Each structure stands twice: as structure tokens, then as C-alpha cells.
Amino acid sequence: MGRLVSCRQPSGVGVCSIDYESNSFDVSLPLTTHTNETHFFSFNQTLIWILRNPGPDISELLPAGFLDRTSDRGIECLGWARQPEILAHPAIGGCLLHSGRGSISIIESLSYGHPQILMPMVAGQGPNAKLLFEKGNGFQVQSNEDGAHNQDSIAMSLRFVTADQEGQHLQFQAAEMQTIFANQDLHDNYTEEFVEFIFNQKIGEI
């Protein structure tokens, strides 16, 4: 991975991190695999595709010859990946996520100063994606009227965030958010203040 990513320009590589424990598996896998090829061949960019918990029959779910066709332009991690190590690389320019509220990937990517490409797929993910988008911390993939995502819109969103000048403001905003999310002292102070507040509330009730 290091050799391939190192040859790319800074902030020009996208990370697609999908956890298939969710019930969005059947919908998102065809979308992301098609997008992977569209992103590679149409825009000549690199995409690191992390497919967690893929199951034993992953080869039957991927398009025929998919891994071979994309081997020279991207990296597919089928299973566990060293995500913090990947996100720490300066070539990473954005992360495609489902934007679930409990997703550790959102916290990790913002901790390393990477903007989000938000693709909510199930209930509960939409409001979180909307909040991140409104705060300027990500770009939401455009969906159809029925709420489904189009393969080309995913690829265009990846391109917009990681390569287009028009999306550069998202890189700057993510860098600002890094000063918050990566500041362990700040989080420790918030935690201590919260614990002290709860303690004082309990004392006041006695």
C-alpha cells in the first residue's frame, strides 16, 4: 500500500470504508464496486476500498474480474485494515462513509483532518449526514427521488472532495476540525467537567 499511495499527490486518494454488518449490504456493495471502477477509469484516481466483514463468498458478490481490473489503480482490503495507519497518510483526501452515528470511522477521519463523503443508506444515518453536511464537515452524495444513490453521483462526489478546486474548502474545514477531534486534552477536560457537573447535581439532591 505504501508504494502505491506514496506515488500520488497529497490529499488525492479516497478511502471507502464499508462495514457489512449493517442491513445495507445488498444495496451498497453493487454501488461501491461500480463506483470503484468508475472512479479509477474515468478520473484516473486512487481509491482504497475497505470492505469489512465481507463473508466467505465475497468473490461471488463482486463483479467478474473486478479485483484484477482495479489492481493497478487502487487497493481493496477485504476484511480488517489498519485504518488509523491509512488515514494518517498525507495522500488521503477524503473518506466515503455511511455516516452512522456510532461509526468510529467518522471520528477517526476527522481526527486526521479528512473531509467526509456522506452516503447514508439506512434510517438514522440521514440526519447525521445532514448535520455533518450543514456544519461543513462533509459532502453528501446526491440521491434519487426514492432515496437511492446513483453510481455516477458517488464517483462525482469522490472527485469533488478529493480532486476538484471547488471542493477545496472542505479540506480546509476538515483541517480545522482536526484541532478539535485530535485534541485529547480538550476531550479529557470536557469529560472531567461533565463528571463534575453530574457529581454536583447529585450532591444538590441529597
pLDDT of the residue at 39: 55
pLDDT digits (tens, 9 = 90+) for 33-48: 555 565 555 556 677 7
Q: Which CATH class is domain 2-205?
A: alpha beta
* pTM reported for the whole predicted model: 0.73
2: phi then psi, degrees, rounded to nearest 5: -60, -40
**CA 192/CA 11 separation, integer angstroms:** 35
What is the residue extent of each domain of the chain? 2-205
Q: Which helix (H) or strand (E) holds 129?
A: helix 125-134
Residue 24's pLDDT is what? 42
Judge whether residue 25 has pLDDT over 50. Answer: no
